[in-house]
Chains A and B, each alone.
Chain A
Amino acid sequence: MDRRKLEEKFFMGLMIASTFIVVGSLFAVFAVVIWKGAPALNLSMITQTPKGGYYLGKEGGILNAIIGSLYLAGEATALAFLLSLPIALYLNEYAGKSRLASFIRLSLDVSAGVPSVVYGAVGFTFMLYLRMRVSLFWGIITVTLLILPIMARAMDEVVAMVPFKLREASYAVGATRLETVLKVISRQALPGILTAVLLAFGRGIGDAASVLFTVGYTDRIPASLFDPAATLPLAVFFQLGTAIPEVQQRAYASAAILLILTLSFSVASRLLTRKFSKFVVR
């Protein structure tokens, strides 16, 4: 029987080692990027746009990219939200277990797995077809399509968890389906809905391949929807590609900013879920 115990101990060792490697890689990424980016992190990075000669190592910051990303991700998230909520509610309240619902869910899950570069290529195609130029507008359209499946499915799962008793209670007092949906179910699912929104926002702000073709890049803060805009991921990418060490340093700092931003959203969404759950019925 010693052989059995030995085998178990051996695999336990392997399992714990694997877990260490997996969790360790998270820390490795975080630590290295922050450590390398910290030296170049100063206030001017986040408060100034690139001045002339920025890419040669002179002054400025990446405010253009920060604002550009916030506009882009913000508006794309809002647009995706306007679509996702009705979709999630429809799938659960009206379509139920029908074939249509299963098909749509499968389609959304599959869409969520499509590479962002494909979304970018398609957005680019339509942009050319309409003879338009790279702009914030096309970035928003592309990113909305990118994050829509993720947000819709996340909301779908949250709404599905609303207990049947709540629906029953609402119908029992004579509410219509729409009223039940708007007043009872949305409120119950609110924390989960918020999490889905934050999740999608984090995805939208961090994606590079979808905005590469459609938004362009510029040193200025976009003044209108049809201006090109800078985005944080591309700021990192382009700065890293230069040969000048100071600029490369700034690339790491930009990466650190982006990392901190997206991780904060992840953590915030988790904490908010717990906080808002106070009003939720168990």
Chain B
Amino acid sequence: MISVRDLQKEYRVHKRPPGLRAAFSSLWRRSYETVKAVDGISFEIQPGERVGFLGPNGAGKTTTLKVLAGLLHPTAGEVQVNGHTPSRREDAYLKQIMLVMGQKQQLIWDLPPSETFELNRAIYDLPAVQYRETLAELTRLLELEPLVSRPTRQLSLGERMKCELAAALIHRPRVLFLDEPTIGLDVSMQVILRNFIRDYNARFGATLILTSHYMDDVAALTPRVIVIDKGRLSYDGGLDALSQRVRPEKRVVFRLQRPVEASAFEPLGKVISVDAEAAVLHVPLATVTEVVAKALASLPIRDLTVENPPLEEVMSELFGRSLARGAA
């Protein structure tokens, strides 16, 4: 289980205005600012849960992830992961976890990935049978066969990421921290990695914590989300509930038999777009049935769909509100 109580992480940052004069004056007088990257966050995560950390850039989600992985020492607060204090970085703890960072790699650049796998076998003290089994399985599931014997530097980004994931999972970590794991990957590779990660969670009951700016990652992998905003926890709960809280409305798409004036839709809800083929409206949840019935009765509707607003829009609105609050 992961337990975080009143976690705080501060950085001391050197502040200097631009220009040569400021550069020289900073030689003998420097001003520092204390930045609160994480400001009193508390939550608990049960074994096997899949949780997404969401928030705008600089919100503190990656810092929280790095504290959980033992890379950063908290300024204050208490963090426990499976009974360990991460910052102590005990062997028993490090053997249970792995942090996969989309922008950093553990693969040895000039050697084939198979060498990194072998290195991890030794470092994690894996029994030969378990190592062979896990490697064979990862090779099959991630289709690594043609990749493992080529130097890492000659692999494409997607191929590297698949090998990176294999290297990270070779010791079957019980807690997996994923920081932007699909960044820069094409859509099909993103889908492959998401499916693989979800299967890993299901098979081994591993706890999974994800940060990603790709909402498709979040929607596919993490039923529970924790929203971090300016270092503080602003939401902890289900993804659907978050959507409804931020956007308590449904997106209704009417496909039209023939063009209709936009004004005809205005009484039904908030008109997002209208063209010759379709009209898109945002309609409060409570009135969806009534609006749909009214539209079907009075307008040339060929087909319609009722859906949740896209997660990107929900997040954009949520983070936009945060920015507006900050500016006020």
Asked if A and B bind, the verdict is: no
